[in-house]
Amino acid sequence: MAKVLKTKDKILNAAERLFADQGFELTSLRQITGAADVNLASVNYHFGSKKALIQAVMERYHAQFMPELDERLKTLEEEGINSTEEVLSCFVGPLLSLQRINPLGTEIYLSLLGHAYSEIQGHLRRFTMQNFGHVVQRFFHCMQQANPHLSVATLFWRLHFTLGATVFAQVSGQALSEIAQADFGESATAEDIVGKLIPYLAAGIGAAEVSASARL
């Protein structure tokens, strides 16, 4: 059926791969059209601009991921929340289902997210929050239920530390995976990394609250 891809899809597939590897700004349209084997001008013809292409690439993944995550969080809320791991585990399924878009979809999406945060892509953050801000809020609410012993402020900071660890792990995931491979022969797909990440994050989030005096 879908043997011969349309130009638009060839561009999207090449772009997401390169964006994930190198970031948005460091990837040129000539790289993309070269890898996709299409004419340079076709990007502007089909998408209008590079910025619009970036949004189209993200949109395809967000549209798959966010509703699924929201669904799982909602179900969990109704069943009652008992642990942090439970909430974090809601991410696993939706992340893996991204492989329906691309066999490497999980890695690509997380890596794209990382670049979207670390690069100054204001339009992207605005776009994401406008469309999926309610999912972020639901996530925070779930975390509050899982950690009633934490103050809102502490939870706020810890969830941002969590985002940092996750994003960073994926952006530098490939490089780290190569080092790990060389050092002690341990491969690591995105799925592996997520699996390693969850216990770490859950323990960090749920750590006992400490007073300011407990320092060195």
Partner DNA sequence: GTTTAAATTAAACGCCTGTTTTAATCGGCG
Partner DNA sequence: CGCCGATTAAAACAGGCGTTTAATTTAAAC
Q: Which parts of this chain interact with DNA (CB under 7 A)?
A: 6-7, 27-31, 38-46, 49-51
Sign of CA dihedral 105, 48, 18, 162: negative
Which of DNA, a second copy, none lies near 49, with the C-beta cut-off 5 to 8 A by kind? DNA
Tell which residue, 205, 199, 173, has the closest CA to residue 89.
Answer: 199
Closer residue to DNA (CB): 86 or 119? 119
Residue type, 90: C
- What crossing angle do the helices spanning 105-118 and 122-146 adopt, rounded to 10°? 110
Instruction: Report the length, in residues, of the chain.
Output: 216
User: Could you give the string, one character per residue 19-38, with x where binding to a second copy holds by CB under 8 A and - elsewhere?
Assistant: ---xx-xx------------
Q: How far apart are CA 84 and CA 162, in angstroms?
A: 12
Q: How far apart are CA 112 and CA 53, in angstroms?
A: 13
User: Could you give the string, one character per residue 44-83, with x where binding to a second copy holds by CB under 8 A and - elsewhere?
Assistant: ----------------------------------------
Closer residue to a second copy (CB): 43 or 193? 193
- Using rule CB under 8 A, residue 156 touches a second copy: yes
Sign of CA dihedral 103, 107, 109, 111: negative
- Residues within window 78-117 making contact with a second copy, judged by CB under 8 A: 89-90, 92-93, 114, 117
Beta carbon of residue 122, minimum distance to a second copy (angstroms, whole number): 9
Residue type, 213: S
Tell which residue, 93, 19, 26, has the closest CA to residue 56.
Answer: 19
Q: Which residues bind a second copy (CB under 8 A)?
A: 22-23, 25-26, 89-90, 92-93, 114, 117-120, 152-154, 156-158, 160-169, 171-172, 175-176, 179-180, 183-184, 186, 188, 193, 195-197, 199-210, 212, 214-216
